Structure 1
Amino acid sequence: MSYQIELLHSLLNDFLQGESALLTIEGDVLAVKGQDPVTYGTLTTAASTASKYLKLQEGDIVLLNDPYSGGSVLCDMTFVMAVSEDLLWVTRKSLNKSVRITKTVEEEGLRIPPTPLRQKNQINEMILAAMQAHPACPPRFAEWIKEQIQELNAKAKKLHEAVELTGFTITSELIEEYLELSKQAAVQRISERASGEARVDIVLDSGELLRMNMEIHDGKISLDFSGTTATKTVSLTESATYGACFHALSRFYGFDQFANTGSFSILQITKPTGCWLVGKYPAPTYKGMTCGVAAIKTAMELTLSQIHHKNEKALSSHCPLHFDLQHKQQHALLTLPGGKGARSDQEGEAAQLKPFSIEQLERDFPVKIQRVDQRQSAGGKGKHNGGRGIIMKLEVRGEVEASWVTDLTLHRPRIPKNCSHGDASEMSLERAGEQKPLPVLGQQKFQAGDILTLCSGSGGGFGKE
Structure 2
Amino acid sequence: MNPIELSLFSSRIDAICEEMGAVLRRSALSPNIRDRLDFSCALFDASGELCAQAAHIPVHLGSMAYAMRDLVERIEWQHGDMVILNDPFLGGTHLPDVTLIAPLFLDGELIAFVANRAHHADIGASTPGSMPISSHLDEEGIVIPPSNLFRRCELDRSLMDEITIQTRNPRDSEGDLTAQISANRAGLQRLERLVESLGSSAFSSALVELNDYAQRLVEQVLVELPDGTYRFSDVMDDDGQDNFDLKIAVTLQVAGSHVHLNFSDSAAQVEGNINCPLSVAAAAVYYAFRCLMPPQTPACAGAFRAITLEAPEGSLLNARRPAAVAAGNVETSTRVVDVVLGALALAIPDRIPAASHGTMNNLAMGSDSPGAAWDYYETIGGGMGAGRNGGGLSGVQTHMTNTLNTPIEVLEMRYPLQVTRHGLRENSAGSGLRPGGEGLVREYRFLAPASATLLTERRRHRPWGIAGGDDGAVGENRLNGEALPSKVTVEVKAGDLLEIKTPGGGGYGGPS
> Structure 1: which 4+ aligned runs deviate by more than 6 Å?
none
Equivalent residues in 2 for 1:430-449, closer than 5 Å:
430=480, 435-449=481-495
Equivalent residue for 2:140, pick from 108, 113, 116: 108
1:9 paired to 2:3: no
Give CA-to-partner distance per residue, 1:186-218, whole Å, 9 cap, x none.
Answer: 101222344443211112222321111112231
Match for 2:116 among 68, 81, 91? 91
Q: Which of 271, 275, 278 is 2:318 aligned to?
A: 278
Report what 1:382 is aligned to.
432
* Structure 2 match to 1:24: 45
Aligned partner of 1:373 among 407, 423, 426: 423
Judged with a 3 Å threshold, the aligned counterparts in structure 2 of structure 1 residues 92 and 148 are, in CA distance, closer, same or farther, namely same
Q: 1:165: how far off?
A: 4.3
Give a deviation string over 1:75-131, Cα, whole Å, max 9, x none: 221111102222122221232263232111111111111001112221122322232
Note if contact 1:44-1:70 (Cα within 8 Å) is conserved in structure 2: no
Q: Distance in 2 between matches of 1:176 and 1:151?
A: 26
Aligned partner of residue 384 in structure 1, secondary structure: coil
1:109/1:136 contact within 8 Å kept? no
Offset of residue 70 of structure 1: 1.0
CA distance in 2, matches of 1:136, 1:52: 34
CA change 1:282–1:268 in 2 (3 A) is same
Answer yes or no: is 1:453 the counterpart of 2:499. Answer: yes
| Pairing partner for 1:391 from 441, 444, 466 | 441
Question: What are the superposed Cα offsets for residues 131-150 of structure 1, whole Å, 9 maximum, x if unpaired?
Answer: 23346785443344334323
> Per the alignment, in what secondary structure is the counterpart of residue 379 of structure 2?
strand
Structure 1 residues 44, 72: closer, same or farther in 2, change over 3 A?
Answer: same
Residue 327 of structure 2: SS of its match in structure 1?
helix
Give the Cα–Cα distance (whole angstroms) in 1 for the partners of residues 467 and 209 of structure 2. 45
After superposition, the C-alpha distances for 1:211-238 in whole angstroms (9 at most, x for unaligned) are 1111223121111112112111221101
Tell me what 2:188 maps to. Answer: 156
Q: How big is the shift at 1:452?
A: 2.4
1:186, 1:255 within 8 Å by CA — same for their partners in 2? no
Match of 1:427 among 464, 472, 477: 477
TM-score (norm 1): 0.90
Which letter maps to 1:176?
V
Q: 2:265 aligns with which of 206, 218, 227?
A: 227
Task: Report how far residue 383 of structure 1 moved.
Answer: 2.3
Correspondence 1:182-193 to 2 at 5 A? 182-193=214-225
Question: Cα 1:396–1:88, aligned 2, differ >3 Å: closer, same or farther?
Answer: closer
The corresponding residue for 2:75 is 54
Q: Which amino acid aligns with 2:216?
A: Q
Structure 1 residue 290, shift from structure 2 partner: 1.1
Please report the TM-score for the alignment, with normalisation by the length of structure 2.
0.83
Aligned length: 461
Q: Which amino acid aligns with 1:463?
A: G
After TM superposition, give the deviation of residue 4 of structure 1 in Å. Answer: 4.2
- Match for residue 356 of structure 1 among 406, 411, 419: 406
* Alpha-carbon contact 2:429-2:439 (below 8 Å) kept: no
**Secondary structure, aligned partner of 1:96:** coil
What residue identity is the alignment partner of 1:402?
Answer: A
Q: 1:312 to 1:129 in 2, by over 3 A?
A: closer
> Is residue 319 of structure 2 the alignment partner of residue 294 of structure 1?
no
Task: Judge which range, 435-444 or 176-185, deviates more.
Answer: 176-185
Taking the aligned partners of 2:377 and 2:174, their CA distance within structure 1 comes to 22
Shift in alpha-carbon separation, 1:136–1:450, aligned structure 2, 3 A = closer
Q: Displacement, 1:387?
A: 0.6
Q: Which moved more, 1:26-35 or 1:210-219?
A: 26-35
Q: Aligned runs of 1:174-253 on 2, under 5 Å?
A: 174-206=206-238, 207=244, 208-232=246-270, 233=272, 234-253=274-293
| 1:189/1:169 CA distance change after superposition, 3 Å | same
Deviations 1:53-74 (A, max 9, x none): 3211233111111111111222
Q: Distance in 1 between matches of 2:179 and 2:167?
A: 22
Q: Is the 8 A contact 2:462 2:472 kept in 1?
A: no
* Aligned residues of 2:463 and 2:504 also touching (Cα < 8 A): no
Q: Is the 8 A contact 1:109 1:137 kept in 2?
A: no
Distance 2:459 2:148 in 1: 39
Contact 1:330–1:364 at 8 Å: present in 2 too? no
Partner residue, 1:333: 377
Q: Secondary structure at the match of 1:222?
A: strand
The one-letter code matched in structure 2 to 1:336 is I
User: Does 1:346 find its partner at 2:347?
Assistant: no
Cα distance in 2 between the residues matched to 1:351 and 1:169: 47
- Assess, with a 3 A threshold, how the Cα gap between structure 1 residues 397 and 131 changes in structure 2: closer, same or farther: closer
Letter in 1 for 2:101: V
Structure 2: segments with no counterpart, 5+ residues: 22-39, 123-128, 239-243, 398-403
Secondary structure, counterpart of 1:63 in structure 2: strand
1: CA distance, partners of 2:14 / 2:506? 34
Separation in 2 of the partners of 1:42 and 1:427? 30
Residues 320 and 456 in structure 1, CA contact (< 8 A), matched pair in contact too: no
Bigger shift: residues 186-195 or 381-390: 186-195
Instruction: Decide whether the 8 Å contact of 2:353 with 2:388 is kept in 1.
Output: yes
* Aligned residues of 2:43 and 2:53 also touching (Cα < 8 A): yes
* Matches of 1:45 and 1:197, distance apart in 2: 24
Partner amino acid for 2:10?
A: H
In 2, the alpha carbon distance for the partners of 1:150 and 1:157 equals 11
Q: Please state if 1:323 is matched with 2:363.
A: yes
Cα shift at 1:33: 4.2
Partner amino acid, structure 1, of 2:317:
L
- CA 1:148 to 1:173, structure 2 compared with 1: closer, same or farther past 3 Å? closer
Q: Alpha-carbon deviations, 1:330-366, whole Å to 9, x = none?
A: 2322421111111223221112483534345345555
Which shifted more, 203-212 or 447-456? 447-456
Q: Larger deviation: 223-232 or 125-134? A: 125-134
Question: Does the C-alpha gap of structure 1 residues 385 and 209 become closer, same or farther in structure 2, counting only changes over 3 Å?
Answer: same
Secondary structure, aligned partner of 2:99: strand
What's the counterpart of residue 456 of structure 2? 406
